[in-house]
C-alpha cells in the first residue's frame, strides 16, 4: 500500500495544491496527515475541504487544538497566537467539526501517527536523543510518523541505539527490516530547513520504502493571501526563506 504523507500544512493552500499535483500518478492509495493543518496560513477552510475530499486520516496538532480553543496560546510566540485567534474567527462549522473529530494519536495499517511525540503528542519536538528514546519507549508498532519540527527526518532504533538520517529529496530509503523507525516528512506549508519548497513524502508499506519529495509552489501567492487576510507580515516573509 502506498501512502501520501503530509504534515504541517498550516493553511497554505497553494503549497498543498502543488503537492497534490506533484504526487499525482504516484499510485497513492491513502493520505495521512500529521497535524498542524491550520494556523499561520490564510486558507484554513479550503485546506480542510481538500483533505476531507481526499479522505485523509489525520491527527491533531498544537495549532489545530489552539484554533479549536482546546488549548491556550500562552506557549505560542505572539505571531502564532495572533494567527491562532484569526484562524478561530474564520473556521467554518464543517472545518471545525472535522478538526474536532481528529485524535491526538491514531494507528493506520499497523503504523502509529502523532504530531509531536508519543510522550506529548501535541507539544513535544522530536529533536533530542532524550525525546527520541522516550518516543520509542512508547511506540508499540514497527513504524511511527510524526511532524511538528518542520524538518524531514528518519530515525532508526535498534537494540537501544538510535540513528538519525536526514533524507534527501528524491532518494528512496529502505525501511529497516529489523528494529523500529520513526519518520518525519517535513512541512508542506512552512518548511524550516532552508528550502522554501513544500516538503512531503511517499511511503510504500508493501515494498518497505520512504521517499522525501519537494514541490515548488507559488510562494508569492501564499504571501499575497496572508497579507490580504491581515495576518502578520513575518508569516509571509518566512515562506520565501524556508525558515
Ligand atoms: Zn507546525
Per 3-state DSSP, what percentage of the chain is helix, strand, and coil (rounded to 5)?
30, 25, 45
Q: Is 203 left (phi over 0), alpha (psi -120 to 50) or beta?
A: beta
pTM of structure:
0.97
CA of 178 to the centre of ligand 1 (A): 30
Q: Residue 150 C-alpha to ligand 1 middle, in angstroms?
A: 6
- Mean pLDDT of successive 10-residue segments in the chain (243 residues)? 98 98 97 98 98 97 96 90 96 98 98 98 95 97 97 94 94 91 98 96 96 98 98 96 93
pLDDT score, position 213: 98
- pLDDT (0 to 100) of residue 47: 98
The enclosing H or E element of 74 equals: none
Q: Report how far ligand 1's centroid is from the alpha carbon of 61 (Å).
A: 7
Cα separation values, 54 from 48, 138, 167, 225, Å: 10, 30, 26, 23
The predicted structure's pLDDT at residue 68: 97
Q: Ligand 1 centroid to 38 CA: how many Å?
A: 9
| CA 180–ligand 1 middle distance (angstroms) | 24
Confidence (pLDDT) at 177: 86
Bridge-based pairing of strands 30-33 and 2-6 is parallel
What's the 63 CA to ligand 1 centre distance in angstroms? 7
In this predicted structure, what is the pLDDT of residue 75? 85
Helices (H), the chain: 13-23, 44-53, 62-67, 78-90, 93-100, 129-138, 219-228, 233-241
User: Can you tell me the distance from the alpha carbon of 158 to that of 176, in angstroms, rounded to the nearest whole number?
Assistant: 9
DSSP state of 232: -
For residue 118, the CA-to-ligand 1 centroid distance in Å is 16
Residues with CB under 5 A from ligand 1 (ion): 8, 36
Distance CA 155, CA 157 (A): 7
Amino acid at each position: 500500500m502506498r501512502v501520501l504523507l503530509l504534515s504541517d500544512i498550516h493553511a497554505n493552500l497553494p503549497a498543498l495544491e502543488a503537492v497534490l499535483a506533484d504526487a499525482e500518478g504516484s499510485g497513492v492509495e491513502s493520505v495521512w496527515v500529521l497535524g498542524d493543518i491550520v494556523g499561520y496560513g490564510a486558507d484554513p477552510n479550503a485546506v480542510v475541504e481538500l483533505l476531507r475530499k481526499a479522505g485523509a486520516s489525520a491527527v491533531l496538532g498544537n495549532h489545530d487544538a489552539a484554533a479549536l480553543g482546546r488549548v491556550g496560546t500562552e506557549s505560542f510566540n505572539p505571531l502564532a497566537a495572533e494567527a491562532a485567534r484569526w484562524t478561530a474567527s474564520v473556521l467554518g462549522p464543517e472545518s471545525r467539526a472535522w478538526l474536532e473529530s481528529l485524535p491526538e494519536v491514531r494507528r493506520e495499517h499497523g503504523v502509529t501517527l502523532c504530531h509531536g511525540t508519543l510522550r506529548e503528542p501535541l507539544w513535544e519536538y522530536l529533536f533530542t536523543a532524550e525525546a527520541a528514546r522516550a518516543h520509542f519507549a512508547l511506540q508499540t508498532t514497527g513504524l511511527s510518523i510524526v511532524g511538528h519540527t518542520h524538518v524531514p527526518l528518519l530515525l532508526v532504533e535498534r537494540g537501544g541505539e538510535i540513528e538519525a538520517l536526514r533524507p534527501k529529496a528524491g532518494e528512496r530509503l529502505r525501511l529497516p527490516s529489523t528494529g523500529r523507525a520513526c519518520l518525519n516528512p517535513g512541512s508542506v506549508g512552512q518548511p524550516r530547513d532552508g528550502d522554501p519548497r513544500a516538503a512531503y513524502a511517499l511511503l510504500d508499506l508493501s515494498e518497505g520504502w520512504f521517499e522525501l519529495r519537494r514541490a515548488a509552489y507559488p510562494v508569492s501567492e501564499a504571501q499575497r493571501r496572508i497579507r490580504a487576510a491581515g495576518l502578520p507580515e513575518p508569516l509571509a516573509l518566512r515562506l520565501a526563506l524556508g525558515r
